[in-house]
């Protein structure tokens, strides 16, 4: 799975999370995933499959945040990106975040939390 290693600017805590974004007004979830991955990675996903939804309440940058996360699974159809050690995801504010491919055992070996909570269980069940 493609994951970003991020750091909370408030307390320096590191964690892993998948790329993603928001749904724009009037946009369906299925259209939003296609748009977000196209904007952030330049990929056209052939057929993403929704695995489920997770509710996430968490601390970031000294604030409590609350979000609903819709989790999708898709194949990477770009061999160059699929074979890359590190990929940069471009956020809407222009920030570039490093990401890389992880197996489930890679995630466990990092010792870092994976967010949103419950994602690992959803992926294993999916």
- Distance of CA 67 to CAs 39, 59, 80, 105, Å? 21, 11, 32, 27
Both tokens of residue 123?
């992926």
1-57 pLDDT per residue, tens? 999 999 999 999 999 999 988 999 999 999 999 999 888 888 888 889 999 999 999
41-64 pLDDT per residue, tens? 888 888 899 999 999 999 999 999
Predicted TM-score (pTM) above 0.85: yes
Domains, the chain, ordered by start: 2-125 (3.90.79.10)
């Amino acid at each position: 799975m493609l994951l970003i290693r991020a750091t909370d600017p408030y307390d320096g805590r590191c964690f892993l999370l998948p790329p993603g974004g928001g749904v724009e007004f009037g946009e369906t979830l299925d259209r939003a995933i296609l748009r977000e991955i196209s904007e952030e990675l330049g990929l056209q996903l052939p057929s993403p499959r929704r695995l489920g939804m997770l509710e996430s309440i968490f601390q970031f940058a000294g604030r409590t945040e609350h979000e609903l996360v819709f989790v999708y699974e898709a194949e990477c159809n770009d061999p160059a990106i699929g074979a890359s050690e590190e990929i940069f995801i471009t956020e809407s504010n222009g920030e570039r975040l490093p990401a890389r491919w992880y197996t489930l055992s890679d995630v466990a070996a990092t010792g870092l939390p994976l967010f949103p909570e419950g994602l690992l269980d959803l992926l294993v069940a999916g």
